[in-house]
Amino acid sequence: MRLFEAGEAGFLNAIRRFTDVHPLVETGFGDDAAILKCVGAGGRMAVTTDLLVEGTHFSLALCTPFELGIKAYEVNASDLAAVGALPVAAFLSIGVLPDTPLALLMDFYKGFRRAARRHKCVIAGGDTVRAETLLISVMLIGRYMKGAMPLLRSGAKPGHRVYVTGWPGESGMGLKLLRKYPHQGRIKRWIQLIKRHVLPEARVVEGLALARSRHTGAAIDVSDGVLNELRHISRMSHVRLNIPYPQLPVSSALDKASREFGVNPRDMVLFGGEDYELLFTSSLNKAGISNLFHRAGSRIAVHEIGRVEKGRGVRILDERGEALSFTDRTFQHFTPRKKVK
């Protein structure tokens, strides 16, 4: 079997056999970050790592090096937000061609540091290497606040409500716009959507608040589309998630842009990707979640999108409560590229 036949999920399942048990590893393979036991910091710390490759995860034709630095930090901070940890130290490694302009690299590091300072996180180390394309590897270490418990994908319980922060789908639409108008700059009327793709913002404050609440169930960040993340929670929590399709949140900006492209905006919510919002379950009602976030200093929008029940899988429901079927358009890393004739 070749990698593209196994797919990313099959690949991860195959390498799971190489992960061993260790007394200091509380939660390892399978969540947004590993949870390690330690002295102090509430007895735990969280560690996450991510790899960004030019041509796969980003294009410098669509963003500046400074913006790329910000995004490289935020997408990793989002993983820590999803497990309820606060970023404290970053290890930033980079692979580059020797003729890369030094000014480009300095702008990248400036962007990364600018974003990290939002959480008083520092660059504590890393590595540099020659590579045939720009390659960025980030490891972030996070700590837990007093009274906080790690958020995991496995915490959903029947009876919980399903929530998502912000406006998922906007980032995916922002990428569509950048690809459609690459030579016309940042088109003013679509700037909100373009910024959501180029300059995501990890929901760290919200993740910390959820980790301190005893009413939170499962949590995950939305990196590959809402439907994909719902499936992760369903599989890890051994529950069924019922999501009414009309209940998926659509911003006015996403709605307008979707008409231009002739797509359903709620499909963008399900499959768009790179939103870095938090998807989570809780026993609290929406007012309770809003109050929880407000007390933490957050004014981010939060939307109830469904319920958890006994069973398996994710059901997207129409107005009559019947399950809809979709062609899965979630981005797959290992799909073979088409040969150019």
For residue 212, what pLDDT is reported? 96
Antiparallel, parallel or unpaired: β 128-130 and 86-96: parallel
What is the residue-wise DSSP string for 186-214?
S-GGGHHHHHHHHS----HHHHHHHHH-T
Domains and CATH numbers, the chain: 3-143 (3.30.1330.10), 161-317 (3.90.650.10)
Is the alpha carbon torsion for 221, 226, 232, 234 positive or negative? positive
Q: Does pTM surpass 0.95?
A: no
pLDDT mean across residues, the chain: 89
Stretch 188-209: mean pLDDT = 95
Say yes or no to pLDDT of 341 above 60: no
Among candidates 83, 26, 68, which has minimal Cα distance to 200? 68
How far is it, in rounded angstroms, from Cα 243 to Cα 314?
7
Orientation of helix 65-82 relative to helix 102-116, angle to 10°: 30
For residue 146, give the amino acid letter: K
Q: What is the CA radius of gyration of the chain?
A: 20
156-161 average pLDDT score: 98
Which of 127-141, 171-185, 269-283 is predicted least confidently? 171-185
Q: Which tens digits make up the pLDDT trace of 220-272?
A: 999 999 999 999 999 999 999 999 999 999 999 999 999 988 999 999 999 99
The CA-CA-CA angle for residues 250, 79, 279, to 5°, reads 35
- pLDDT for residue 82 is more than 70: yes
So what's the pLDDT on residue 198?
94
Q: Which residues contact 52 (CB under 8 A, 6 or more apart)?
A: 58, 72, 75, 135, 136, 137, 138
Tokens 């070749």 correspond to what residue?
2
